[in-house]
Amino acid sequence: MNILAVESSCDETAVAIVRDGRQVLTDCIASQVELHKVYGGVVPEIASRKHVEAIYGLADQALAETGLTRADIDAVAVTYAPGLIGAVLVGVNFAKAAAMALDVPLIPVHHIRGHIAANYLAFPELKPPFLCLVVSGGHTMIVEVADYTKMRILGTTLDDAAGECFDKVGRVLGMPYPGGAAMDRAAQSGDDTRYPMPRSKPGANPYDMSFSGLKTAALNTIHHAQQVGEELDIPSVAASFSAAVSDTLVPRVVRALEETGHKKLAVAGGVAANSRIRGDILKAAEKLGVQVYLPPLKLCGDNAAMIGAQGYYEYLAGNTAGMELNAYATKSILGETI
């Protein structure tokens, strides 16, 4: 089954063709990173306009690269939530038009389910059930994947996402957008104990997380140094912050693995590329005898291949939509609108 997949939830326009949920035939991406660097972050209106300009050409490019024709496409999958609403609408409307023109099923895919499915592309042997740590720019959660379309959220951030905090702190430090990647590079030469950072313990659910206090502490450290004329050790700020994020995530994942009994752990989302988090997870999993699935860096960020992968399993589960499909800025991975 050849699925034409579309992703436009933020600042990457992407169109892929995925076969049977596991084989990527092509994944075409038009990045807007250079455009948004000027502003230090994504400008929603600009992102939406650039999606409009790029999406049709990417679809043609995807067909050309695979040698397939429009008649070879069996379904169209698209990110319908969550994301920047204008950006998501571009992808949804394009996908609806494509599905109608090709007379094939339209498959709505939740963006975070797509991130989890990126692991199916990287690891053909991976099958549910397993535990997944999702760490992206907009979401941070621990998900129990019982089946390809049946999931349970064990814990989530109660405020900011880890990726958003990395980007914000990086921006204040004067690093180029996206700040998370620059923070990771800087942290390699820093001392992660030089600047004390808090570790959150919010609420009754031991799996829930909070990053707003950590972000505030990091920003206060930076601003204090600037106000008193103290030279700031930027690599050590980055290393201390990265250690605090990892210390918030990894112990909760370890506890979830121990209490659920799962022996497979997948990691998903853009922040899954962070070297400190990857390293700490591997060490913890080795002690527990747990198999870890860390996708390659190209599958950690937003891409359409992951949407095509999850779209295949959504289709098998009967989760298709008609022309009434709408886009949503916020929606739970379980389906409920937040």
Q: Is residue 272 part of a domain?
A: yes
* Upstream peptide bond of 105 is cis (omega within 30 degrees of 0): no
**pLDDT for 316-326, tens place per residue?**
999 999 999 99
Same-domain pairing of 77 and 138? no
Same-domain pairing of 168 and 38? no
Q: Is residue 230 part of a domain?
A: yes
Same-domain pairing of 283 and 180? yes
Same-domain pairing of 284 and 309? no
**pLDDT for 14-35, tens place per residue?**
999 999 999 999 999 999 988 8
The torsion defined by the Cα of 230, 231, 234 and 240, in degrees rounded to 10, comes to -40
**Domain containing 232: what range?**
126-294
Q: What percentage of residues in the chain have a pLDDT greater than 90?
A: 88
In the chain, the number of structural domains is: 2
Report the distance separating Cα 77 and Cα 68, nearest Å: 17
The crossing angle, in degrees rounded to 10, of helices 212-228 and 234-260 is 170
Q: How far is CA 35 from CA 31, 123, 126, 143, 149, in A?
A: 9, 33, 37, 33, 36
Same-domain pairing of 172 and 53? no
Report the distance separating Cα 220 and Cα 225, nearest Å: 8
Same-domain pairing of 97 and 184? no
Q: Is residue 140 part of a domain?
A: yes
**pTM, whole model, 2 decimals?**
0.93
Q: Is residue 212 part of a domain?
A: yes
Same-domain pairing of 216 and 312? no
Q: How far is CA 96 from CA 38, 42, 67, 250, in A?
A: 33, 26, 23, 40
Residue 336's pLDDT is what? 63
Q: Is residue 161 part of a domain?
A: yes
Report the distance separating Cα 307 and Cα 10, nearest Å: 14
Q: What average pLDDT is seen over the chain?
A: 94
Same-domain pairing of 103 and 157? no
Residue 138's pLDDT is what? 86
**pLDDT for 109-120, tens place per residue?**
999 999 999 999
Residue 96 has pLDDT above 90, yes or no: yes
Same-domain pairing of 105 and 141? no
Give the CATH number of the domain where residue 7 resides.
3.30.420.40
Same-domain pairing of 142 and 18? no
Same-domain pairing of 109 and 140? no
**pLDDT for 198-237, tens place per residue?**
998 877 899 999 999 999 999 999 999 999 999 999 999 9
**pLDDT for 253-312, tens place per residue?**
999 999 999 999 999 998 888 999 999 999 999 999 999 999 998 899 899 999 999 999
Same-domain pairing of 172 and 311? no
- Confidence category of residue 40, pLDDT binned at 50, 70, 90: confident
